[in-house]
Structure formats: C-alpha cells, structure tokens
C-alpha cells in the first residue's frame, strides 16, 4: 500500500510539472493536429474515403504525437537529472517504471482524447453513439504504447542520437498493437459489429499485459548507472 | 599462445568447409536441381532465400539467449555473443529481404506484397536494424550491453505476437490470400530436396564461420578499448615524464 502511495506521489509530481509548463501536452496535440492537416490533402474529407483510411490517419497522428510526447517527457527528466534523483528514494526501480508509465499514460490519454475529437470534427466522421467504443480502443492502444514507450524513451534519451532513436525502436515493436488498433478503429468507424473484432480486442489486451510485465521486469536493468 | 593458434586453426578448417559446402550448394543449385515447371529458373532462388530466412531466426534465438544470460550473469562474453550474432544475423536477414522481391517479381508479378509472412519478416528485419543502431549509438559499452539485452528480450517476446497479428490481419482480407502457402515444401522432387539440404548446410556453416570471426573481432576491439583507456588514464609517470 505504501509503495502505491509513493508511486502516486511521483506521478503527482510529474503531472504537476507537466501542468505548469504543458510542454508535452501542447506539443503533442498541436503535432497531432498537423498530421491530420497533412493527411487531409490526400483525399476529399467527408467522402466515403474516410471510412477506408480514417483509422490509419487517426493512428498515424496518435503514434507520431505519442513518440514526440515520450521524448519530451524523458528528455526533461534526463536534463534535470530527475530519474537519478528518484533512484535515491526508497522506491524500487521497477516501481519507478510504474510511476513513469502512469504519468505517460495520463498525458497520452488526454492528448488522445483531444486528437479523437479533432479527428471526428475535422474529418466529419459519422461516429454516432460509438464514441465510447472508439475511446476505449484508443485507451487500450495508449496503454500498450506507454508500456513500451516508458522503456524505450528512457533508453533513447541516454543514447547519442537521443530523440531519433525512439521511433526506430518503438514503431517496429508496436506493429501488432497498431494493426489491432487500426482494424478495430476501422470497424467502429464503419459501424461493423465489434463481436467480429474480438480477436483484435484480445490481442490489444494481451499486448498491454505482456509488455507492461516485461517493462516492469527489465526497467531496473536500464536504470543501473 | 598454443590454444589461440589451435583455435584459429579450427576456425580456418571450418572456413574451408564453409567454402566447399557453399560452392557445392551453388553447383547443386544451378547444375543438379531441376528447373521448376511453372516458375522456371527463378525458382532456384529458393535455395538462397529460405536458408537465409532460417539462419536469421537462428541468429535471433542466439541473440535472445545471450541477452538473457547477460542480464543474469553480467559477463561480457554473453554480450559479445549477442552483438556478433545480431550483426551476422542481419546480413542473412538482408539477404532474405533482397532475394525475396527478386524472386517475387517474375512469379507474383509484383516485388512486394503485404502478405503475412513478408510483413512479419520485414518487421523482424527492422527490429534487427534498430538493435544495431542502438549498439552503435547507445553510449559506453556496459550501458549498450544492458540496453541491447532489454531490447532483444522485448523483441523476442514480440515475435509470436507479430506473427499472429499479421496472420489475422491478412486472413481478415480474403482477397489478399493469393500466396498464403508459398512455393517451398509442396511437392519438391528428391533432387530439389537434396539441393535444399546442401543449401541449408552451406548457410549454417557460413553463419558459424562468420559468427566466430565476428566474435574474435569483438573481443579484440574490446581489448583494444581497454588498453586505450589504460594509456589515456593520467598517471604520475606520464605527468612527470621526459617533456
């Protein structure tokens, strides 16, 4: 119980810092908006095309924006010596993974929510009452991305190439998650029965669990200095 | 000193074996194996492409095993093995990625299809590339070893998930199922099977030789780095030296 309180204290500290500058959040949302803008030139918005490619566009925006946010958060941490400071606290290094994961998840979920709303408005997506289902899929995808992102952003900001390294490591590894997210998002946009997509939903949950567990187990090996 | 020379002797003889078997594989491929009835001569690509793909998986399994051992034992020899196997494995993976489209163009009429097997092989190749990039830019040696071990373990856990996800992805699109079961394995003649076996042997022995050579290079590199660190470390002798 005490561990959880300590973890939440770290999360609270990180979120307070983020809310004061809003650095990661603003840059993420604006970047997602720009991706939506660029893709819009590819086809006529509001036409039937959005049913075909909409899911891909939404997830491109979410993925690239997430990479940006992860780099921003961990780079600040690196430059301020934040993680090194936290390593001096009684929290175990695996618990630090949990804390960083929750922080990242909060920020990416918020940015994801705004991006989904922008996507629906800008692309005139006929979503109707399926919005909660879409948000649930976006959340499940965000959990998986945050689980891998916490590990690899911590690694990336400690390498010589810094932010370039993260997408190189993160994107190939998240391919299964991205396929599952795009497929189920496409089903929701096209108002198909979600029961047919049960495989994808199961895959997302399995992916989230596997990589959260692996992240928890391997994070201490990353933080040894 | 004597152990080192016997070691390089055995590597030398292994290299000769690799050369002979590879030459034999080439001979079998072009002279012995029959021309496939439908695909024609291009089907001989099978004897290069499939062994390269298998060797890639073998090398990745070695990288995974060595990475787990490194994280538990923290002995640099496991990291040396992981680094060497990943690099040699990438050579075979790249061979697979290049020979695939050359074979595909005349047979399928297209260089590339986002078919399940192609996609998962491509993603695995990208993970290898990321791994090598992390090796080059990861910082000091001990840090790189830890980071790469974590990446290899997470990547290995990802392989079955990638495999199943791309399979479901493509079975949900029945129109893309033109080539699910590719050419290999189905109704191969005995002479084709023999050629196939020789080609496999050639790939594995070549892999073993390259791995040993790369391993030796890695060890020498590390010894050199250690010596250089020793030289550049300021010592009273240098400070109060002849100048």
Q: What is the mean pLDDT of residues B218-243?
A: 75
- C-alpha–C-alpha distance, residues A114 and A134, integer Å: 13
Would you call A8 an interface residue with chain B, using a CB distance cutoff of 8 Å? no
Q: Is B23 a domain residue?
A: yes
Would you call A5 an interface residue with chain B, using a CB distance cutoff of 8 Å? no
- B115 closest CA partner among B129, B102, B128, B101: B101
| Percent of the residues in chain A that have a pLDDT greater than 90, as a whole number | 48
Q: What is the mean pLDDT of residues B198-208?
A: 92
Q: Tens digit of pLDDT for each residue in A159-168?
A: 888 878 999 9
pTM of the model: 0.86
Separation of first and last alpha carbons in chain A: 28
Residue pairs spanning A and B at CB distance below 8 A: 85
- Whether the pLDDT of residue A81 is over 90: the answer is no
Domain that holds residue B109: 11-229
Q: How far is CA B47 from CA A85, B57, B198, B202, in A?
A: 56, 16, 9, 10
Q: Is B236 a domain residue?
A: no
Q: How far is CA B151 from CA A54, A146, B21, B144, B158, in A?
A: 32, 16, 34, 10, 10
- C-alpha–C-alpha distance, residues B146 and A190, integer Å: 45
β-sheet bridge partners, residue B40: B36
pLDDT at A191: 83
- Whether the pLDDT of residue B4 is over 60: the answer is no
Q: Is B39 a domain residue?
A: yes
Residue B187: pLDDT band (50, 70, 90) is low
Q: Tens digit of pLDDT for each residue in A175-225?
A: 999 999 999 999 898 888 877 788 889 999 999 999 999 999 999 999 886
- Six token digits for residue A212: 């959260």
Q: What is the ipTM of this complex?
A: 0.89
pLDDT at A212: 95
Name the minimum distance, in Å, from the CA of A19 to any CA of chain B.
31
Structural domain tally of chain A? Answer: 1
Tell me if A169 and B134 make a contact (CB, 8 A cut-off). yes
Residue B238 CB partners (closer than 8 Å, separation 6+): none
DSSP assignment of A6-46: HHHHHHHHHHHHHHHH-HHHHHHHHHHHHHHHHHHTTS-TT
- Six token digits for residue B202: 């050639």
Q: Is B235 a domain residue?
A: no
Q: Is B238 a domain residue?
A: no
In eight-state DSSP terms, residue A1 is -
Residues A95 and A57: beta-carbon distance below 8 Å: no
SS3 B11: helix
CB atoms within 10 A of CB B190: 7
Would you call A159 an interface residue with chain B, using a CB distance cutoff of 8 Å? yes
- C-alpha–C-alpha distance, residues B215 and B87, integer Å: 10
Q: Is B138 a domain residue?
A: yes
Domain harbouring B168, CATH code: 1.20.120
Would you call A214 an interface residue with chain B, using a CB distance cutoff of 8 Å? yes
CB atoms within 10 A of CB A208: 21
- Six token digits for residue B88: 């040699």
pLDDT at B5: 59
Helix boundaries (H) for chain A:
2-21, 23-40, 49-80, 82-86, 93-122, 131-156, 165-173, 175-189, 198-223
Domain that holds residue A75: 2-223
pLDDT at A144: 96
Residue B174: pLDDT band (50, 70, 90) is very low
Q: Is B76 a domain residue?
A: yes
Structural domain tally of chain B? Answer: 1
Q: Which helix (H) or strand (E) holds B120?
A: helix B116-137
pLDDT at A171: 95
- Six token digits for residue B137: 């830019």
Q: Is B243 a domain residue?
A: no
């Amino acid at each position: 119980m005490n561990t959880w309180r300590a973890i939440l204290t770290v999360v609270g500290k990180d979120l307070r810092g983020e809310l004061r500058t809003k650095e990661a959040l603003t840059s993420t949302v604006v970047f997602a908006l720009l991706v939506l803008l660029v893709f819009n030139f590819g086809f006529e918005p509001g036409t039937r095309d959005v049913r075909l490619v909409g899911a891909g566009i939404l997830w491109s925006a979410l993925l690239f924006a997430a990479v940006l946010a992860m780099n921003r958060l961990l780079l600040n941490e690196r430059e301020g010596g934040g993680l090194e400071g936290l390593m001096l606290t009684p929290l175990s290094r695996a618990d630090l993974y949990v804390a960083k994961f929750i922080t990242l998840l909060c920020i990416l979920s918020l940015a994801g929510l705004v991006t989904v709303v922008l996507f629906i408005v800008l692309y005139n997506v006929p979503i109707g009452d399926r919005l909660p289902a879409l948000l649930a899929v976006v959340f499940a995808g965000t959990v998986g991305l945050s689980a891998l992102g916490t590990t690899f952003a911590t690694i990336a900001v400690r390498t010589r190439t810094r932010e370039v390294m993260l997408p190189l490591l993160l994107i190939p590894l998240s391919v299964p998650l991205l396929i599952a997210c795009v497929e189920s998002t496409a089903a929701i946009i096209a108002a198909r029965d979600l029961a047919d997509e049960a495989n994808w939903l199961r895959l997302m949950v399995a992916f989230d669990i596997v990589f959260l567990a692996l992240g928890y187990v391997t994070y201490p090996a990353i933080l040894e200095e | 000193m004597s152990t080192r020379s016997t070691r390089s002797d055995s590597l030398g003889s292994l290299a000769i074996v690799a050369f002979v078997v590879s030459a034999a594989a080439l001979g079998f491929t072009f002279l012995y194996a029959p021309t496939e009835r439908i695909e024609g001569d291009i089907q001989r690509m099978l004897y290069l492409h499939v062994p390269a793909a298998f060797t890639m998986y073998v090398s990745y399994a070695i990288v995974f095993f060595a990475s787990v051992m490194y994280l538990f034992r923290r002995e640099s020899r496991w990291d040396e093995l992981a680094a060497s196997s990943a690099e040699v494995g990438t050579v075979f993976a790249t061979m697979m990625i290049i020979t695939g489209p050359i074979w595909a163009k005349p047979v399928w009429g297209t260089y590339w299809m986002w078919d399940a097997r192609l996609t998962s092989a491509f993603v695995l190749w990208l993970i290898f590339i990321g791994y090598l990039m992390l090796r080059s830019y990861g910082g000091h040696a001990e840090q790189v070893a830890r980071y790469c071990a974590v990446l290899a373990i997470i990547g290995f856990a990802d392989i079955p998930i990638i495999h199943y996800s791309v399979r479901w992805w493509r079975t949900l699109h029945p129109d893309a199922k033109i080539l699910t079961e590719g050419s290999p394995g189905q109704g191969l003649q005995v002479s084709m099977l023999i050629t196939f076996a020789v080609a496999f042997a050639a790939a594995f022995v070549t892999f073993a030789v390259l791995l040993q050579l790369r391993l030796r290079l890695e060890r020498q590199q590390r010894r050199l780095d250690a010596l250089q660190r020793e030289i550049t470390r300021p010592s009273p002798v240098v400070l109060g030296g002849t100048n």
